[in-house]
Structure 1
Amino acid sequence: MTVTSGPAGWWRALTGERARWSVAAAVTYYLGAHLGLSLSLVGENVTPLWPPTGIAVAAFVVVGRWLWPAVAAAALAVNLPLSAGPLAAVATAAGNTLAPLVAVLVLEAIGFRRQLDRQRDALGIVLAALASTLISALIGSLALAWSDAISYAELPATWAVWWTGDAMGVLIVTPFLLSLPLLRDLPSWPLRQSAEMVAILVTVVVATAWAARTLQVLFLALPVVGWAAWRYQLRAAAPAALIASAITTWSAARGLGTFRGRPLIDQMLALQAFNASIALASFVLAAVVSERNSATRALEAAAADLEARVAVRTAELSALNDQLETEIRERFEAQEQLSHEEARAQREHDIAETLQRSLLPARLPDVPGVAVAARYVPATSDVQIGGDWYDVLQLPDGQVGLAIGDVAGHGVSAAATMAQVRMALRVYALQDTSPASVLRSVHRLVSQLPMPEMVTLLYAVLDPRTRRLRVASAGHPPVLAFSATGASYLKVGLAPPVGVTAEAIYEESVHRLEPGATLLLYTDGLVERRGASITEGLDRLCTAAAAMAGEDLERLCDHLLTTMIEPHHLADDVALIAVRPLPVVAGPWRLTVPAEARMLSLARGSLRQWLRDAGVTKDDENDILVACGEACANVVQHAYAAAPGDLELEARLDEDLLEMWVRDRGQWRAPSDRGGGWGLQLMQALTDAVDVDRTGDGTVVHLRRRVTIGPRKSG
């Protein structure tokens, strides 16, 4: 065995391989030419099916265009004996070489793949066949006329036969040759499918021969070729089309069956219509089916990958405590439902949207004495999910809890962390009114859970009656307070984000807001901008907010987003809450709350503040609160037996006459014989008059009392 080494050895190996390919291509071209010449219709060298052109195109596609000298030599060898002279033979050989080269250039320009498994490949080979063979047909037919092999009157018919013959050679032979490597590259067929393939080819032979010679109906083979393309794509369609075309062309060349006695032009029209139909029905249909199968497999793989990714992501939500189980279970159910309904890339997007809707408040609570507005703007509009969040909690004692947080990152993982932190804060806030205690509890929970993301958090408790604000922060940007007199950031003790360290100390600061002041809680996406420091962003926010002091909160939020965020350059999510304690209004007091026992404290606190602001003395205040409380307790106990409802309260002060109305929309329970009625007696004892009006639409308790008015108080 001889081992080659160095540049000379590699050159010899390469030259030997090229030589073998060149010989194989030339011999195949030459044999194909003689097969085609046996089917000639004009003279000895114009045939309706010219396999060499198809052979040359296939060789150039599979091996390379460097084979053109071998093709040119074989074409010259074929044409020398057939032409009137060497010059005509050289011209014809040049046309036969140039046409497949142009065809391959066209195919390369459209990104052709020799597997013929896309519609663009099938349409590309049709375009290359019809366009490139115009060259060989024109040169060859002119060479025949110039050498007096045909008359110029025969030139159009000769050109047509030549052109269609070369084109059919590309459309019929090239796909067949390109299908041969697929027998090696693709998995082999089982025995049953192999038998079906043989049966298809035998049926093509029988149907084509019978149709062309006996029935004189050429298109009987079309359904069989179409079935081959549908079942086994190019590997079956290309041989079936070649067999059907060869049999029909042979019948035309010998004037058999439907071609017997017909003029040349009629024979050509019938034959080439059949060949074109067979070609298109074979590799074009095969390409369409292959492309559909590839797309189906790709979609199945994508769906399986998304299923796996969703399973991994949702598993992160499984380690929640008892207080979080209900909401997280609903989220899991939504994800599972989506996994059954969605099969494509939309799955993760839909899950993200579902999570986002469930994590942010559907609507802000209606807190007496407080105006609230909020905004959330995601940084990525395609997924629409991030780690920023906000919450407004109506606490049982009439105070309002304000929370805002930022989980680093985006996607399902950040949303899962956000869900756990938000729900944990809600639970702890209802148990403890101290912001610092709430943050300590959240920190302990986050430290025990596998949360890789960093979480900053700010929690504040506002008493609307006294405008007293308590704030605690875990690494979050400070609260901005502003009014017509100016704007400033509230000082809060420094502390790390929750869960970052094993131990953390969270302190709360206490502030008393001046009348008309507005609070702004926000995430860092509002004040961050490319190329600018965070200090510059805080200064810009302070200026923009102060310019809108006293404006409607909804307009304020829109103004801040427009001013602070660069269009189309939002690098991070933005969440913000604007809160403003409402000033005392010298007018009626109204409040609507759910008719539940837990809401009575809220109603009592709101009424007490209104009475104090109106200047009602302490003794009158206590009697009115007790009388109103009895009327409210009766509504909670008796009005809504079948379904929940609302408790509506209204109070008016006309000089020293105080009037109150306690309304419900329910149906009271029938009175029992076990006593009772003490509440009505107590109301009558504490007020000057009590009227009870019961109708089919509900009950109204009307209380009246003369009160003493002292100096008005200003919280």
Structure 2
Amino acid sequence: MTAERDRASRHTPSLVPRSATARALSLVLVALAYYASARLGLSLSLVDANVTPLWPPTGVAVAALLVLGRGMWPAVAVAALAVNVPISETFLAAAVTAVGNTVAPYLAVVLLDRVAFRRDLARLRDALAIIFLGALTAMLVSATVGAVTLVAAGTIPLADLPTAWAVWWTGDAMGVLVVAPFLLSLPLSWELEPWPVRRWLEAGAFLLATTAIMGWAAQSQLPLLFLVLPVVGWAAWRLQLRGAAPAALTASLVATWAAVRDLGAFAGLTVVEQMATLQAFNVCVALASFVFAALVSERQREAAELAAAAAQLEERVQQRTLQLSTANARLVQEIRDRSQAQEQLTAEEARSHREHEIAETLQRSLLPDRIAELPGVDIAARYVPATSDVQVGGDWYDVIPLPNGLVGLAIGDVAGHGLHAAATMVQVRMGLRAYALQDPSPASVMRGVHRLVSQLRVPEMVTLLYLVHDPSTGSLRFSNAGHPPALVVHGGESTYLTGGLAPPLGVTSEAIFTEATHELAPGATLLLYTDGLVERRAVPITDGLTQLADEVAKSVGSAPTEDPEALCDHVLAAMIDTDQVADDVALVVVRPTVASDGSLALRLPAEARMLVQLRGAVRRWLRESGIADDDAAEILVACGEACANAVQHAYSDAAVPGPLAVEGRIAGGTLELEVRDQGRWRAPVDRGGGWGLQLMQGLMDGVDVEQSAAGTTVRLRRDVAIDARP
């Protein structure tokens, strides 16, 4: 059964003829089938004698190219030419029309192969692909070529072009929608498990019911064609594609017959209106049959896998139980009779105590113990837990110093509360940190975390917004997996960053993540938050987003230099009642550092990992100050040497590195930099080094070193020329 399912589900052709004789016979049979179905379709013509609302040959061509291979296109081309020559004004018109009739199904197969289409339509994506790519999109080619050719050949006037095009597109699309799935279902009869007799009887009953309902509804003056949809859907539910395809074909054929003869719901309508109604009906039939059949097939496959796993588990449990039951049966029964009530009470108390301890441990480790001090940005964060007995949820945030001076910002939410949500959140956060340090690209990090969440088999939804900020350029790259969008406020304007969207993590087997960019101007405010900040019961979330944007814009507008910590407090006070918090709230405020007088002021821990961020901040300050590139490069080397010396020597005897301060100013064409630490340097040892001071003196016009009990200060001075470029 598994081998049959694999053979039937491959999107590549499984019945491609191998020998020359088989290939020639296949070409002849495809050409005959195309020609015969074309003669049937022409009997339903609405425009001139060659435009019909149902063109079965497109379904024949698509099915043949899918099952027998794309090499069957010559048969389609020859048969199309044979069909079009007698009904065309000229041989050239017939040839052009035949080209369109060949290219359209060939394009449909190419598009379906691009999305890994499986011809058993056992997946939802396959049903949607054949409807929207194979039928509605690819057939635009044949309809356009054919309708324009009719006008060019003088067969129809130009005024009839829209009508002819609509009918032609409807006919070709309907051929793919109703005929191709039927033909694709035929090989399944021997590729899949054979049906018993009762299944064939059930299929026949569905077909008879479809014919009877459609035959009556098509001639009724009331718009009752929809009555057939439950029958088609039931057939798809019970029999999947092998039952849905014949029912859908029957329903579409009867509807087309009624449209051609102006019967029932189609009476009194224009040709365009008839085609629109027919197209809509057939698409609904396709959705109700093929899409439903695909969903049922997916569910049955998952159920079969689950049943197999359950059976294996049950077998192992039974074996283990049999091994233990003989030795423990008498003892278990005695313990159960004497202490059942006490065991229940003890277990409940132990579980409650354990959950409380775990909750406390997780509560301390959920969020960063402190926000890293990073040059070029001011960051503040808040976390408000929901008011519940175990105040642990899945909301979280993180600030990650990245290589090359970049800053990673993350905020996410694991739906639900309790220990499971918190444990999942911890794993996601740690995974994101690892992926970000490996490759900080938002799309790359999202793909890694998506794979992690998929393997965790998280039952709840996981949303994540991840951003990478470059303080030296102000650029902001981000990707959003189902999380509320970030808010940027600058110059009195509020903007939500709605790009880089993707579904929540882990909800789909495959996910494509993209990146979007935004320039975070100096002085702008970036706000990251979770849905607990803006969601209220019985209130649209758009109202909460609007209120948040207004509150932040008002606060920033009244106090542009307001500390991010104060802005966090203001937003929480305005948006939520901290005494009754229905959902956890995480909030992060980020603002690029701006010095109003053009000076530089940095204060960082004297750690080697911070030197990259420090150099990026100094580089940005030099560029924004208009320092020429050559001067800036030498100043940056000298400053970096002074900072590296402080990191290496100032706190060598301390258990924890102390602070490192860098200040800069430009006045009267002279640039001054001060690098200060609060440590105590050890006496120098001659180990072949000592070139740092000479390097600084060679690059700067003046270097002063002042050591005292309070620490060491290195002052660098250089005369510079201000670059006048904008």
**Normalised by the size of structure 2, how large is the TM-score?**
0.49
Note if contact 1:665-1:698 (Cα within 8 Å) is conserved in structure 2. yes
Separation of aligned partners in 1, 2:443 and 2:456: 20
Match of 2:526 among 519, 532, 539: 519
CA apart distance, 1:541:
2.3
Corresponding position of 1:304: 347
Choose the corresponding residue for 1:579, options 586, 590, 600.
590
Cα distance in 2 between the residues matched to 1:430 and 1:514: 25
| Distance apart, 1:481 and its partner CA | 1.6
Is 1:684 the equivalent of 2:691? no
Indicate conservation of the 8 Å contact 2:374/2:613, yes or no. no
Q: How far 1:442 moved relative to its partner?
A: 0.7
Matching of residues 264-275 of structure 1 within 5 Å: none
CA RMSD of aligned residues (A): 2.6
Aligned with residue 471 of structure 1, among 478, 482, 485? 478
- C-alpha distance in structure 1 between counterparts of 2:347 and 2:384, whole Å: 32
Indicate conservation of the 8 Å contact 2:661/2:675, yes or no.
yes
- Which of 569, 593, 600 aligns to 1:589? It is 600
Match of 1:455 in 2: 462
* Corresponding pairs, count: 382
Question: Deviation of residue 583 (structure 1)?
Answer: 2.7
Q: Equivalents in 2 of 1:489, 1:356: separation in Å?
A: 30
Q: CA-to-partner distance for each residue in 1:45-79, whole Å, 9 max, x for gaps? A: xxxxxxxxxxxxxxxxxxxxxxxxxxxxxxxxxxx
Q: Is the 8 A contact 1:456 1:498 kept in 2?
A: yes
Tell me the SS of whatever aligns to 2:556. Answer: coil
Q: Answer yes or no: is 1:558 the counterpart of 2:569.
A: yes
1:366 counterpart residue number: 373
Alignment match of 2:657 (pick from 637, 645, 665): 645
Mapped to 2, the partners of 1:391 and 1:528 lie a distance apart of 22
Aligned match of 2:441: 434
Match of 1:380 in 2: 387
- Give the Cα–Cα distance (whole angstroms) in 1 for the partners of residues 367 and 511 of structure 2: 27
Identical aligned residues as a percent: 62
Alpha carbons of 1:690 and 1:568: their partners in 2 closer, same or farther (altered >3 Å)? closer
C-alpha distance in 2 between matches for 1:459 and 1:594: 25
Q: Residue 291 of structure 2 aligns with which residue?
A: none
Structure 1 CA distance for aligned equivalents of residues 440 and 625 of structure 2: 28
CA drift at 1:434: 0.8
Secondary structure of the structure 1 residue equivalent to 2:468: strand
Contact conserved, 1:397 with 1:605, CA < 8 A, in 2? Answer: yes
| CA separation of 1:704 and 1:441: change in aligned 2, threshold 3 A | same
Instruction: Say yes or no: does 1:704 pair with 2:717.
Output: yes
Instruction: Kindly indicate whether the alpha-carbon contact (under 8 Å) linking 2:374 and 2:604 is maintained by their aligned counterparts in 1.
Output: no
Per the alignment, residue 570 of structure 1 pairs with: 581
Task: Indicate conservation of the 8 Å contact 1:645/1:665, yes or no.
Answer: no
Q: Which of the numbers 631, 635, 638 marks the counterpart of 2:646?
A: 635
| Conservation of the 8 A alpha-carbon contact between 1:461 and 1:469 | yes
Query: Given the alignment of the two structures, is residue 401 of structure 1 paired with residue 408 of structure 2, yes or no?
Result: yes
Q: Which has the larger radius of gyration?
A: 1
Q: State the shift of 1:306 in Å.
A: 4.2
Shift of 1:406: 0.6
**Secondary structure of the structure 1 residue equivalent to 2:567:** helix
Q: Distance in 1 between matches of 2:645 and 2:594?
A: 31
**Could you tell me which amino acid in structure 2 is paired with residue 536 of structure 1?**
D
Q: Distance in 2 between matches of 1:415 and 1:499?
A: 17
- Mapped to 1, the partners of 2:648 and 2:635 lie a distance apart of 20
Report if the CA contact (8 A) 2:523-2:594 is conserved.
Answer: yes
Structure 1 counterpart SS, 2:651 = coil
Identify the residue that residue 617 of structure 2 maps to in structure 1.
606
Quick one: which amino acid aligns to residue 707 of structure 1?
A: V
Question: What CA deviation, in whole Å up to 9, does each residue of 1:559-599 have, x standing for no partner?
Answer: 33333335765332221212222334325422232333322
Paired amino acid for 2:377: V
The change in CA–CA distance for 1:481 and 1:648 in structure 2 (over 3 A counts) is closer
Q: Does 1:662 align with 2:675?
A: yes
Q: Which residue of 1 aligns with 2:513?
A: 506
Aligned to 1:116: none
- Distance in 1 (CA, whole Å) between partners of 2:607 and 2:565 is 30
Cα offset for 1:421?
0.4
Q: Does 1:444 align with 2:451?
A: yes
Distance 1:513 1:636 in 2: 30
Kindly state the Cα deviation for residue 712 of structure 1 after the two structures are TM-superposed. 7.8
2:368 and 2:398 in contact (8 A); partners too: yes
Partner Cα distance (1:549, 1:698) in 2: 38
Shift of residue 473, structure 1, vs aligned partner: 0.9
Q: CA deviation at 1:674?
A: 4.1
Q: For residue 632 of structure 1, report the CA deviation from its aligned partner.
A: 2.1
Task: Give the letter aligned to residue 691 of structure 2.
Answer: W
For the 8 Å contact 1:665–1:699, the answer to whether it is kept is yes
Partner of 1:83: none
CA distance in 2, matches of 1:673, 1:521: 51
In the alignment, structure 1 residue 492 sits paired with structure 2 residue 535:
no
Secondary structure of 2:684's counterpart equals coil
Larger displacement relative to structure 2 (586-595 or 438-447): 586-595
The one-letter code matched in structure 1 to 2:445 is V
| Structure 1: tracts of 5 or more residues without a match | 1-296, 310-344
Structure 2 segments unaligned to the other structure (5+ residues): 1-339
Q: Are the counterparts in 1 of residues 443 and 514 from structure 2 also a CA contact under 8 Å?
A: yes
Amino acid at match of 1:395: L
Please state how far the C-alpha of 1:604 moved relative to its aligned partner: 1.2
| Cα-to-partner distance string for 1:60-118 (whole Å, 9 max, x where unaligned) | xxxxxxxxxxxxxxxxxxxxxxxxxxxxxxxxxxxxxxxxxxxxxxxxxxxxxxxxxxx
Q: CA, structure 1 residues 373+637, in 2 after alignment: closer, same or farther (shift >3 Å)?
A: closer
Equivalence map 1:279-290=2 (5 Å): none
Letter in 1 for 2:466: Y
TM-score by length of 1: 0.50
Query: Could you tell me how far 1:445 is from its partner in structure 2?
Result: 1.5
